[in-house]
């Protein structure tokens, strides 16, 4: 007949009533620590990814703001860049590059558009020309451990296109 272990004669409890079972002291704590590291790494990645997506959306919005102004006033290259950068005033912790480019529409039946050329103040552009604004920034990863996996920076780029509704020679 099996009986449960009893107290020794002195009234003290035994330290381990089942001495043949393996000891698992601290195993749960180790599992928690390892799983928490993995979960925190995933959370850090989600936070940085969210910041990057938010920055790209702001860059796209700023490029579109530049296009809205640029198609109406194509000769004001410096003002176009200023408008884009003003919209990104909260994101200037890293250098932001703004390129304002123009292109004549396809002149031949092949439909191949002409090459892009940099916007020059009061340059001769015509109604129907295409304007392209490119905004680029090197996005810095904030989480140190994640930066060792992906690299310290991720290049971000936003582009907006528009068709000129005024020529540069119209006041």
Q: Tell me, what's the pLDDT at 16?
A: 62
The mean pLDDT of 65-74, rounded to a whole number, is 92
The phi, psi pair for 69, rounded to 5°, reads -75, -40
Q: Tell me, what's the pLDDT at 15?
A: 63
Take residue 15 and report the two structure tokens written for it: 């330290």
Strands 96-103 and 130-140: antiparallel
pLDDT in tens, 73-115: 888 889 999 999 999 988 767 889 999 988 877 655 566 777 8
Highest mean pLDDT (candidates 6-10, 15-19, 67-71, 162-166): 67-71
Quick count: other Cβ atoms within 10 Å of Cβ 168? 21
Q: Tell me, what's the pLDDT at 94?
A: 82
Tell whether pTM > 0.85.
no
Q: Which residue has the higher pLDDT, 122 or 152?
A: 152
pLDDT in tens, 3-60: 655 555 555 665 666 666 666 677 888 899 999 988 988 888 898 889 999 999 999 9
Take residue 16 and report the two structure tokens written for it: 């381990």
Contacts for 101 with CB less than 8 Å, ≥ 6 apart: 116, 117, 118, 119, 131, 132, 133, 134
Smallest CA-to-CA distance from 45 within 138, 147, 140, 137 is with 147
**Mean pLDDT over the full length of the chain:** 82
């Amino acid at each position: 007949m099996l009986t449960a272990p009893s107290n020794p004669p002195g009234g003290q409890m035994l330290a381990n009533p089942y001495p043949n079972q393996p000891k698992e002291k601290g195993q749960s704590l180790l599992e928690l620590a390892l799983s928490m590291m993995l979960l925190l790494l995933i959370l850090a990645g989600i936070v940085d990814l969210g910041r990057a997506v938010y920055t790209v959306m702001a860059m796209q919005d700023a490029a579109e703001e530049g296009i809205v102004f640029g198609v109406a006033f194509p000769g004001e290259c410096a003002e176009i860049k200023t408008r884009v950068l003003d919209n990104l005033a909260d994101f200037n912790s890293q250098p932001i590059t703004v390129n304002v480019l123009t292109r004549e529409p396809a002149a031949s039946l092949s439909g191949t558009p002409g090459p892009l050329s940099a916007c020059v103040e009061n340059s001769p552009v015509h109604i129907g020309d295409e304007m392209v604004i490119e905004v680029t920034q090197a996005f810095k990863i904030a989480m140190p451990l994640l930066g060792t996996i992906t690299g310290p920076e991720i290049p971000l780029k936003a582009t907006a296109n528009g068709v000129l509704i005024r020529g540069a020679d119209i006041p």
